[in-house]
């Protein structure tokens, strides 16, 4: 029998009750992301065993850097695997050294893998499309849905919880069914490449288009509530008419602003495969006419649009870029904002790398791109200050995810001084 997820608070510190206290909030979408990425835990353990990484941890190395140098493993992937196993409780950090404290993966990760298989099958079989008006599921629905918090038992029936209705009934604004199915398939493919990545550092590029489409379908429900709160804050701080959404993804941030006022215009930049999804979200939210979509390059400012903008969004962009590129992008953002305009930056944050979700995301990101990483809040703060931003405000979204609001230089003269040499394409 499946044990309750409530029995595993150590591994799921961001929300130990999963969907069980679901109120339809965005934190539940983070939970689905964490479940899926946790499929990487057991393969990470197996790779560490097969490659001798565990046995190397017992050798008298002075540091992890020395261990990596002697093993000839890929540095980034090695650190990511160690962080995942630390967050999963397999390793502990003692006096700067990783110590193996468990010789198998905690059972919860195997249970989640089985539960996700059942969930995907239920989605693909149309189970959630057959829900009755009162939320009752067909008689053959699996009890696993109760364990996941998607359903509850009422008399002899399984009935969807509020979170189950919001995220798994087709055609809902925050539907996650497509994300669960496509992302699970992507992860199962990536798992087969994990050992090769550790040994060679060669990333898995063939899955990147599918990954981008999957992530876009997650980001809207993930941040819908935070996006609305940020939009409210921005309107209180000044007039908003022109918005630049760099790496727009689902468009969740800029859609929240566009919904507040019909004369707001948004320039949304991303790759073509993603922009198809952005258009769909904008159309569903009845703000399509307010958007201009651009197949652009973050590192080529001439594709960004015509400044100045009142607001610039950077949502989950920085984790895929090098530190040097991020500094150049943020400096260019300061140049493209009007005096006193706002930058909104949301991304995973290394300050909570002991928790599972950011550690899993760092490993996942390492399988897809050579550049990038999970950066600390202090790093983001430093980049923003060097770019000339002021009044930097940090908000916690969920475990391992941070949102930053920064204001551009108030005077035109100061802004122009900051912008000298800010062209990203240099």
The pTM of the full predicted model, rounded to 2 decimals, is: 0.82
Q: What is the pLDDT of residue 422?
A: 44
Q: What is the pLDDT of residue 9?
A: 45
**Token pair 């905690």 in the structure block, residue:** 106
CATH topology of domain 208-418: Rossmann fold (3.40.50)
- pLDDT tens for the chain, 426 residues: list them: 345 454 544 455 443 333 333 344 446 677 888 889 999 999 999 999 999 999 999 888 878 888 888 888 999 999 999 999 999 999 998 888 899 999 999 998 999 999 999 999 999 999 999 999 889 999 999 999 998 889 999 988 999 999 899 999 998 888 899 889 988 988 888 898 899 989 988 876 655 666 777 777 778 887 888 899 999 999 998 889 999 999 999 999 999 999 999 999 999 999 888 899 899 999 999 999 999 999 988 889 999 999 999 999 999 899 889 999 999 999 999 999 999 999 999 988 877 656 788 888 889 888 887 788 888 889 999 999 999 998 888 886 665 678 899 999 876 554 454 445 444 444
Token pair in block for residue 89: 């409780």
Domain ranges of the chain: 1-202, 208-418
Asked if residues 250 and 346 have their Cβ atoms less than 8 Å apart, the reply is no
Asked if residues 377 and 348 have their Cβ atoms less than 8 Å apart, the reply is no
Q: What is the pLDDT of residue 18?
A: 38
Q: What is the pLDDT of residue 15?
A: 37
Q: What is the pLDDT of residue 11?
A: 53
């Amino acid at each position: 029998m499946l044990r309750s997820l409530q029995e595993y608070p150590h591994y799921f510190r961001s929300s130990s009750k999963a969907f069980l206290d679901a109120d339809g909030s965005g934190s539940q979408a983070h939970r689905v992301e964490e479940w899926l990425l946790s499929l990487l835990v057991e393969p990470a353990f197996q790779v560490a065993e097969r490659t001798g990484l565990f046995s190397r941890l017992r050798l008298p190395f002075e540091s992890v850097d020395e261990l990596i140098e002697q093993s000839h493993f890929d540095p980034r992937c090695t650190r990511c695997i160690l962080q995942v196993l630390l967050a999963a409780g397999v390793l502990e950090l003692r006096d700067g050294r990783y110590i193996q404290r468990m010789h198998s993966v905690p059972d919860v990760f195997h249970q989640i893998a089985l539960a996700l298989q059942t969930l995907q099958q239920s989605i693909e079989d149309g189970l959630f499309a057959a829900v009755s008006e009162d939320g009752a599921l067909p008689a053959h629905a699996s009890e696993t849905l109760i364990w996941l918090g998607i359903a509850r038992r009422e008399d002899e029936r399984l009935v969807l919880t509020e979170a189950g209705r919001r995220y798994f009934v087709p055609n809902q604004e925050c539907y996650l069914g497509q994300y669960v199915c496509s992302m699970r398939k992507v992860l199962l493919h990536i798992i087969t490449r994990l050992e090769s990545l550790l040994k060679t550092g060669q990333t898995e590029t063939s899955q990147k288009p599918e990954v981008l489409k999957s992530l876009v379908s997650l980001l809207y429900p993930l941040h819908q509530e935070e996006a609305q709160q940020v939009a409210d804050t921005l309107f209180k701080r000044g007039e908003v008419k022109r918005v630049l959404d760099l790496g727009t993804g689902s468009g969740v941030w800029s859609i929240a602003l566009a919904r507040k006022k019909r004369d707001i215009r948004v320039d949304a930049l991303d790759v073509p495969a993603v922009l198809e999804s952005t258009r769909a979200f904008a159309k569903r939210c009845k703000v399509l006419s307010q958007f201009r979509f651009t197949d652009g390059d973050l590192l080529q400012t001439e594709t960004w649009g015509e400044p100045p903008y009142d607001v610039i969004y950077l949502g989950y962009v920085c984790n895929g870029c090098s530190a040097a590129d991020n500094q150049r992008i943020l400096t260019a953002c300061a140049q493209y904002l009007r005096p006193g305009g706002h930058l909104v930056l949301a991304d995973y944050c290394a300050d909570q790398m002991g928790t599972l979700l950011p550690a899993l995301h760092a490993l996942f990101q390492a399988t897809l791109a050579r550049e990038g990483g999970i950066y600390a809040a202090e790093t983001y703060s430093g980049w923003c200050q060097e770019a000339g931003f002021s009044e930097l405000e940090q908000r916690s979204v969920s475990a391992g995810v941070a949102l930053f609001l920064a204001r551009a230089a108030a005077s035109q003269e100061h802004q122009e001084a900051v912008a000298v040499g800010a062209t990203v394409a240099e």
